[in-house]
A = this chain, B = another copy of it.
């Protein structure tokens, strides 16, 4: 019975890991990303005054992770934009989010049950990106543990890591903070996820990649759906960090006091 159960989970994980993300899950990713853009102060005014700048920023929100990862690996940062269908889908989502008559699209996707589904879909894409990033970096640098972690981290965090420059495009400048100074949950989770996937890729962690994708996706979905539903900004990593940081760095990370 237990062998059967294990087989089932492995098969389920394998099936899940081979589900194509385009177009359905990517749609969720684009919807949630551009929704977060619309929540930014001044984003709606920007879409009225300068649709071109608004579109450029929206593309950064949707494809920032590819741009950053390609940049770090010395490839063309514009490379992903050769996927015309992805860009078209993201553009459609951007257009509907900002310019749909009666704000209908926005009202639909921010209806909580719908939004939670999209949030879950976004996490599916995020975990896949982390795994693909680590794999891609491993392909270039077989012994480059750190590079694998960095590329996985960047693929998971995306536009957050270049928030200063994304804001600058919108005419906003907040030099006093950035994602490195105050890491949000998705970035931290991407970092820890990238470490896990790097351990898996270099055979230090005895688990199949499919299973890791499956379980890490479950973890991310649970956390993000719970946080979105409860409007919480707490981090599930806080207890561990609260123990480790004082020992390692003689300090308590911000938000723990």
A interface with B by C-beta (< 8 Å): 46-53, 56, 70-79, 81-82, 84, 87, 98-99, 140-141, 143-147, 150-151, 164, 168-173, 175-178, 180-183, 191, 245, 248-251, 253-254
Minimum C-beta distance from A48 to chain B (A): 4
A76: chain B residues within 8 A (beta carbon): 72-75, 140
Given contacts A175-B168, A251-B51, contact A82 B180 (CB under 8 A): no
A172: chain B residues within 8 A (beta carbon): 175
Q: Is the CB of A173 within 8 A of B175?
A: yes
A248: chain B residues within 8 A (beta carbon): 51, 99
Q: From the candidates B170, B171, B177, name the one contacting A171 in the complex (CB within 8 A).
A: B177
User: What are 21 A-B pairs at a CB distance below 8 A?
Assistant: A49-B181, A50-B180, A50-B181, A50-B183, A50-B253, A51-B249, A52-B180, A53-B181, A71-B77, A74-B74, A74-B77, A74-B79, A78-B151, A81-B146, A82-B147, A84-B146, A99-B249, A99-B250, A169-B178, A169-B181, A173-B176
Q: Is the CB of B182 within 8 A of A178?
A: no
Integer count of this chain's copies in the complex: 3
Give CA–CA (A87, B150) in the complex, Å: 13
Minimum C-beta distance from A21 to chain B (A): 20
Give CA–CA (A169, B53) in the complex, Å: 23
Chain B: CB-nearest residue to A79:
B74
A73: chain B residues within 8 A (beta carbon): 76, 78
Beyond A72-B76, A74-B76, A172-B175, 20 extra complex contacts between A and B, CB < 8 Å:
A47-B249, A48-B249, A49-B251, A49-B253, A49-B254, A50-B180, A50-B182, A52-B191, A72-B78, A74-B74, A75-B76, A78-B147, A82-B141, A84-B143, A98-B249, A168-B175, A170-B181, A171-B178, A173-B175, A173-B176
